[in-house]
Amino acid sequence: MLTVDFSRFPLAPGDRVLDLGCGAGRHAFECYRRGAQVVALDQNGEEIREVAKWFAAMKEAGEAPAGATATAMEGDALNLPFPDESFDVVIISEVMEHIPDDKGVLAEMVRVLRPGGRIAVTVPRYGPEKVCWALSDAYHEVEGGHIRIYKADELLAKMKQAGLRPYGTHHAHALHSPYWWLKCAFGVDNDKALPVKAYHKLLVWDIMKKPLATRVAEQALNPLIGKSFVAYATKPHLPVDAAK
């Protein structure tokens, strides 16, 4: 289940891509399939080991084209182990809401992104996220949990302050908002509640089968209750002030 829309955020074979805070690796895997030279980085060593296994399995199965490369590594988003201008593309999906120093993370991403490069940032959307916080303290008051809720204008302003030039936004995963509302209402750790189990089956069916009815429904609902806010930006060849 991808949050970044690659029709709006195109990749070229050979692009150097950093998936920062890659988690289970969903965006890194898609970039690898598209022929990129991918680095998947996360502070969670267990997840990184799983991502590395999947990269190896994808290579063995011939899922990535010739010339594509993939590396999984542990690292600190506030102290990236890469030289300046190392990447053509940076993706950070559902990560910034966890990090106290979000401005520091943006600065590091801009540092390692080449001039003219592209960045995709996704965070939980303000409205659906506020509902989750209102329904359940346990949803966000956990170690490593969400520490802030972004308004779209706030995130875009921080991206601009970091030296980026946003060029597009959208919302994603509308069908997932009711699922998380149900989880919060019945208990975030309670997977046995009948409404939660039933809705989870619907989501699995949707992800596996991609039926037209749910695809159309989600597209229609995304502007209203999309779970994620997605922003795309470029790094100017000149500093923003100098380019005006």
159-203 pLDDT tens trace: 999 999 999 999 999 999 999 999 999 999 999 999 999 999 999
34 to each of 8, 100, 120, 216, how far by Cα in Å? Answer: 14, 33, 16, 25
What percent of the chain shows pLDDT beyond 70?
Answer: 97
Give residue 241's pLDDT.
54
CA dihedral 194, 196, 199, 204 (to 10 degrees): -110
Q: Given this model, what pLDDT does residue 244 score?
A: 47
3-7, 98-102, 239-243: segment of lowest average pLDDT: 239-243
For the chain, the average pLDDT equals 95
pLDDT at residue 240, rounded to an integer: 53
pLDDT at 239: 60
The 8-class DSSP code of residue 98 comes to G
CB atoms near residue 4 (< 10 Å): 24
Task: Return d(Cα 191, Cα 182) in angstroms, integer.
Answer: 10
How many helices (H) and strands (E) would you count in the chain?
9, 7
Query: Which positions ≥6 away from 138 have C-beta within 8 Å?
Result: 187, 188, 189
Whether pLDDT at 79 is above 80: yes
How many residues does this entry show for the chain? 244
> What is the reported pLDDT for 99?
94
Residue 237, pLDDT score:
87
Per-residue pLDDT tens digits for 116-154: 999 999 999 999 999 999 999 999 988 888 999 999 999
Q: What local confidence, expressed as pLDDT, does residue 209 receive?
A: 94
Q: Is the pLDDT of residue 64 over 60?
A: yes
H or E element, residue 225? helix 212-225
Q: Where are any strands of DSSP class E within the chain?
A: 16-20, 37-42, 69-74, 87-93, 113-124, 165-172, 228-234
